[in-house]
């Protein structure tokens, strides 16, 4: 059994505080989201709007803090939006920003169904207005061995789940990314089990850290980062945090996921960041923070042990990797 | 008749092409490292490894081109191609160990010994290092028969590199899932190149070619068969 007391404790979590200017910025954020949505809609009606050669950063990026709670600086908007794993578009992380630009994110519905008392299909605008959007600065650790610090905007998944009232049989949550090979060209390849699916145990999904992200640096999410809405589970490897969500289903059993289907012996359902459990092929003991040369040691649960270690108290994490 | 400029002969042209490709890719690698990509270390490690594999496969192509098709100039670039494979493998390893891991032995030890993935690549690199050091004429002469024995290790290095590569991608070659097309293609090419060297198969190829040549050039007199050098 892992002794979690050896992992550091981090007292104040920024998720508990929404800085005032970020809070005030919510209105601006939602307005932009609406404008961007309308723009996409017009473009779909035949306006020839050439996408920029390289997506440029909006001028008025906002964030409540320049660092995460450990004092490490945020990654830049440039880095966050130009280095993306999004196999629906490309296997090249630096190609995704370009190839995903035309994703149509409005109208966008998220269907929440399954073992719930109040199944409901939410329009994106409803999710933005019904749930308080707040900033969460999280570390993102990719299973490939790199990491970033990212100021997301969004709301806790728990708030959405409470609204639909899971029944007592619901034990897991299954998520699904948009399936649309016309927009996402790599979905035509039969080498991959599309659509991208992910899952969480219900208590993981209800944890306050688990976020449905809708924005980045106070701006709506760009397509390459999972627009218009994505999952962010900061104590798990990045592949758990799926993008462009269209379905959220409450289910009784552990769902199949994209990566457990591709290579079950390499990517587990839990996928908790864990320096002591190596990927079957490479060590996970260290990582490269994007923007830094050299490596830093990977933290248990990506540094979120205080919030999540209790979820796994009676589990052998080398078995449930 | 005046002797032609040797650089315009096939062997010379091949040599120019090999050097242009090798040095050009190295320049491109260095340039893109400083051209501010988001994750220059990962990009450099992946690209240099890929180039090393490409040159290794090209160097393995030289001998069959001669034995099967009688294209002797290929033998003249074989060493150059092999040395470029070693050069990129060296860049690959140095980027990994020096720039990425900062020669931090604690981290490196885990990375190398925790899983066979890197150990496999390291074994291949060690082989290429030995072959590169002994690639000079002096070694060839002083080692005699052992030189050829040593250099046959490239038949081991190539599959090791392909497995190392297939382990670096996300997917499962055995289950035909994921990002597997390139590792499979390289694997197939390497297997074919190794099969083409198996003595019975090589002899059949040489025999076929000789008969063909005899028929076409001198149907009546016996010609000397093309020299078949016992090279790796």
Put the strands of the sheet holding A197-201 in their side by side order.
Answer: A120-123, A109-114, A245-251, A172-177, A197-201
> Which DSSP state fits A166?
B
Residue B32 sits at the chain A interface (C-beta within 8 Å): no
Provide mean pLDDT across the span A75-89. Answer: 95
User: Which of the residues B170, B173, B174, B176 would you substitute to probe the A interface, choosing the one with the greatest number of A C-beta atoms within 10 Å?
Assistant: B170
Phi-psi region of A301 (alpha: psi -120 to 50; beta: other; left: phi over 0): left
A286: exposed, middle or buried (C-beta count within 10 Å: 0-12, 13-18, 19+)? buried
Nearest Cα neighbor of B122 from B82, B84, B155, B94 is B94
Q: Using CB atoms, pick whichever of B102, B117, B178 lies closest to residue A282.
A: B117
Q: pLDDT band for position B224 (50/70/90)?
A: low
Helix, strand, coil percentages for chain A (3-state, nearest 5): 25, 20, 50
Burial (CB count within 10 angstroms: exposed 0-12, middle 13-18, buried 19+), residue B94: middle
pLDDT at residue A35 above 80? no
Rounded to a whole number of angstroms, the distance from the CA of B231 to the nearest CA of chain A is 35
Mean pLDDT, to the nearest integer, of A175-195?
95
Whether the CB of B30 is below 8 Å from some CB of chain A: the reply is no
What whole-number distance in Å separates Cα of residue A302 and Cα of residue A236?
7
* A245-281 tens-digit pLDDT: 999 999 999 999 999 998 887 889 999 999 998 887 7
Bridge partners of residue A121, in order along the sequence: A111
Q: CB–CB of A192 and B39 under 8 A?
A: no
What number is the average pLDDT over the span A285-300?
91
A280–B100 C-beta distance less than 8 A: no
Q: Return the H-helix or E-strand segment holding A153.
A: strand A146-156
Nearest CA distance, B192 vs chain A (angstrom) = 24
Task: Assess B37–A contact: CB distance below 8 Å, yes or no.
Answer: yes
The three-point CA angle A183-A186-A191 to 5° equals 145
Q: Are A232 and A80 in contact (CB under 8 A)?
A: no
Q: By CB neighbour count within 10 A (0-12 exposed, 13-18 middle, 19+ buried), where does B104 fall?
A: middle
B59-70 burial, b for 16+ CB within 10 Å, e for fewer? bbbbbbbbbbee
- pLDDT surpassing 80 at residue A283: yes
Residues of B in contact with A278 (CB under 8 A): 114-115
Instruction: Report the C-alpha gap between B129 and B94 in whole angstroms.
Output: 13
Of A242, A305, A249, the C-alpha closest to A273 is A305
- Shortest Cα distance from B114 to chain A (angstroms)? 6
Instruction: Check if the beta carbon of residue B132 is closer than 8 Å to that of residue B83.
Output: yes
Chain B residue with Cα closest to A84: B38
To the nearest whole Å, the CA of A233 is away from the closest chain B CA by 21
The residue with greater pLDDT, A205 or A25, is A205
Query: Looking at beta carbons, which residues of chain B come within 8 Å of A91?
Result: 179
Q: Out of A80-84, A225-229, B190-194, B223-227, pick the least confident.
A: B223-227
Name which of A57, A96, A286 to mutate to probe chain B: the one with the most chain B Cβ atoms within 10 A of its Cβ.
A286
Please, where are the H alpha helices in B114-198? 116-133, 137-143, 145-151, 154-168, 181-195
Identify the top-confidence range among B59-73, B162-176, B203-217.
B59-73
What is the model's pTM? Answer: 0.78
Q: What residue in B sits closest to A83 (Cα-Cα)?
A: B38
pLDDT one-digit tens code per residue, A202-216:
999 999 999 999 999
Asked if the model's pLDDT at residue A53 lies above 50, the reply is no
State the first-to-last Cα distance of chain B, in angstroms, to the nearest integer: 36
| ipTM > 0.85 for the complex | no
Q: Which of A283, A290, A293 sits opposite B99 (nearest CB)?
A: A293
Using only the alpha carbons of chain A, give its radius of gyration: 19
Rounded to an integer, the average pLDDT of B135-159 is 93
Cβ-contact A266, B172 below 8 angstroms: yes
Alpha-carbon distance B38 to nearest alpha carbon in chain A (angstroms): 6
The two beta strands, A286-289 and A296-297, are: antiparallel
Residue A44 has a pLDDT of: 40
Mutate which of A75, A265, A282 to disrupt the B interface (most B C-beta within 10 Å)?
Answer: A282
From the list B72, B86, B228, the residue with the least C-alpha distance to B151 is B86
Q: Which of these ranges, A6-10, A46-50, A162-166, A217-221, has the smallest mean pLDDT?
A: A46-50
Using CB atoms within 10 Å of the CB of residue B7, give its burial: 0 to 12 exposed, 13 to 18 middle, 19+ buried.
exposed
* H-helix or E-strand spanning residue A38: helix A20-44
């Amino acid at each position: 059994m892992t002794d979690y007391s050896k992992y550091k404790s981090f007292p104040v979590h920024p998720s508990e505080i929404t800085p005032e200017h970020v809070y005030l910025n919510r209105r601006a954020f939602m307005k932009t989201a609406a404008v961007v949505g309308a723009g996409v809609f017009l473009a779909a009606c035949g306006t020839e709007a050439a996408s920029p050669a390289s997506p440029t950063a909006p001028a008025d990026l906002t964030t409540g803090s320049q660092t995460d709670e450990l004092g490490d600086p945020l990654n830049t908007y440039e880095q966050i939006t130009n280095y993306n794993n999004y196999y629906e578009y490309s296997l090249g992380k630096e190609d995704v920003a370009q190839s995903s630009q035309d994703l149509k994110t409005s109208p966008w519905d998220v269907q929440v169904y399954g073992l719930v008392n109040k199944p409901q299909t939410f329009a994106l605008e409803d999710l933005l207005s019904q749930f308080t959007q707040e900033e969460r600065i999280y570390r993102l650790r990719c299973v490939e061995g790199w990491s970033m610090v990212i100021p997301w905007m969004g709301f806790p998944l728990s708030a959405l789940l409470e609204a639909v009232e899971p029944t007592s049989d619901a034990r897991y949550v299954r998520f699904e990314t948009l399936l649309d090979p016309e927009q996402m060209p790599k979905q035509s390849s039969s080498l991959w089990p599309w659509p991208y699916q992910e899952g969480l145990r219900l208590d993981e999904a209800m944890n306050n850290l688990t976020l449905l992200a809708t924005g980045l640096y106070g701006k709506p999410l760009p397509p390459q980062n999972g627009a218009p809405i994505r999952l962010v589970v900061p104590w798990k490897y990045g592949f758990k945090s799926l993008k462009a969500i269209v379905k959220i289903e409450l289910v009784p059993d552990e769902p199949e996921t994209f990566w457990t289907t591709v290579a079950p012996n390499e990517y587990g359902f839990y996928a908790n960041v864990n320096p002591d459990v190596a990927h079957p092929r490479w060590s996970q003991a260290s990582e490269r923070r994007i923007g830094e040369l050299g490596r830093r040691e990977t933290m248990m649960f990506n540094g979120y042990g205080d919030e999540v270690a209790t979820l796994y108290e009676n589990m052998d994490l080398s078995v449930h990797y | 008749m005046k002797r032609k400029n040797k650089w315009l002969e096939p062997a010379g042209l091949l040599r120019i092409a090999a050097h242009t490709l090798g040095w050009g890719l190295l320049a491109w690698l260095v340039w893109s490292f400083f051209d501010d990509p988001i994750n220059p270390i990962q990009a450099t490690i992946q690209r240099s490894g890929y180039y090393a594999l490409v040159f290794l496969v090209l160097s393995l192509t030289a001998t069959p081109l001669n034995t099967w098709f009688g294209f002797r100039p290929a033998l003249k670039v074989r060493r150059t191609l092999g040395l470029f494979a070693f050069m990129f493998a060296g860049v690959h390893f140095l980027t990994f160990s020096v720039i990425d891991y900062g020669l931090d032995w604690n981290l490196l030890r885990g990375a190398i010994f925790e899983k066979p993935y890197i150990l496999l690549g390291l074994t291949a690199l060690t082989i290429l290092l030995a072959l590169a050091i002994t690639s000079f004429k002096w070694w060839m002469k002083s080692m005699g028969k052992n030189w050829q024995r040593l250099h046959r290790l490239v038949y081991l290095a190539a599959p090791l590199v392909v497995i190392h590569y297939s382990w670096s991608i996300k997917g499962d070659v055995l289950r035909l899932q994921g990002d597997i097309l390139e590792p499979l293609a390289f694997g197939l090419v390497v297997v074919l190149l190794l099969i083409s060297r198996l003595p019975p198969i090589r002899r059949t190829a040489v025999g076929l070619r000789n008969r063909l040549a005899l028929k076409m050039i001198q149907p009546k007199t016996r010609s000397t068969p093309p020299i078949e050098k016992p090279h790796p």
